[in-house]
Amino acid sequence: MMTKPTDSNLSFWWETFYDDAAMAVLADQDPKQIRSQAEMIMRATGLVAGQTAMDQCCGLGQHACVLAARGVRVVGIDQSPMYIEQARRQAAGDNKNPEFLVADALVYRHHETVDAVYNWHSSFGYFDDDAMNCQMLSAAHASLRDGGMMLLEFPNMPHLLNHFRGTMRTEHPGGVLLERESTVSPDGTTLHQTWTYRWNGRDNGNGSGNGSENGKRSHRSSLRIYHPDQLIAMFKESGFVDVRVSSHDGDELTAECARLLVTGRKRGDE
């Protein structure tokens, strides 16, 4: 089984997880931070104005919009029609707006090769199976020109495990309260989380708390716990060369880094 057959009832957690509640949380990212992350993307991939990039799992397209404003021609893809609609709405009116498409990043191959692909913010490792997760890297590889760069941003799992927090609570615009309960599977391979959203005792106008009973809704997610060396191996298996991991700043990765970057180059153009 590679991706879901069109006639299958099989469903994956992320197909329902990324709803309007998750959208409110994703929209609540500091624009300054998004701008600085877009700089990191350009630095790590070597992207310059006039070049092309694909944002794999672009969400609401915040990074794609910043890159487009810097002169990069970006195509952003996401499996959520609602998020793509929102991304298009956000970008509308900007004459350098990115192209946004609903597509499955596990198989999507762009019709023209691009100079760089990036996958930002835990949009990788959703399957239990490593070969399935590698598909995301292979799909990126297929969309890249020879010599093009792939960038993956992911939690630095040793840091996450050393600073493990079972419960986290955050508050977001629109009166959204999010509680995340986290556990690690007994075999240590997967991070399981339950995300419970509450609407602060209010509903959002439809009388039932954003379509949820008593203004509360829960979703589960699971993310593979890949250590940096495993990520490097997966990049190499997917055909990338010059693979390296680093901190967000491009420095040596240490146990103090909460998140990491993996970069790899598609062979050719030597």
Ligand X SMILES: C[S@@+](CC[C@H](N)C(=O)[O-])C[C@H]1O[C@@H](n2cnc3c(N)ncnc32)[C@H](O)[C@@H]1O
Quick one: angle between helices 31-45 and 62-69, nearest 10? Answer: 70
Closer residue to ligand X (CB): 16 or 162: 16
Closest to ligand X by CB, 63 or 110: 63
Shortest separation between residue 118's beta carbon and ligand X, angstroms: 8
C-beta closer to ligand X: residue 119 or 210: 119
Min dist. Cβ of residue 259 to ligand X (A): 11
Cα–Cα distance between 50 and 72 in angstroms, integer?
A: 5
CA distance 203 to 223: 30
Contact indicator for 58, 100 with CB cutoff of 8 Å: yes
Q: How far is the CB of 71 from ligand X (least distance, A)?
A: 20
Contact residues toward ligand X (CB under 6 A) are: 14, 18, 26, 57-59, 62-63, 77-80, 83, 104-106, 120-123, 126
Give the residue with the Cβ less far from ligand X, 22 or 144: 22
Q: Shortest distance, CB of residue 85 to ligand X, whole angstroms? A: 12
Q: Work out whether strand 73-78 and strand 240-246 pair parallel, antiparallel, or are unpaired.
A: unpaired
List all residues 6 or more positions away from 137 whose beta carbon is below 8 Å from its beta carbon.
Answer: 150, 152, 234, 235, 237, 238, 240
**Closer of 194 and 254 to ligand X (Cβ):** 194
- Output the smallest distance, CB 248 to ligand X, in A: 13
Residue number with the shortest CB distance to ligand X? 59
Residue 189 CB neighbours (<10 A): 13
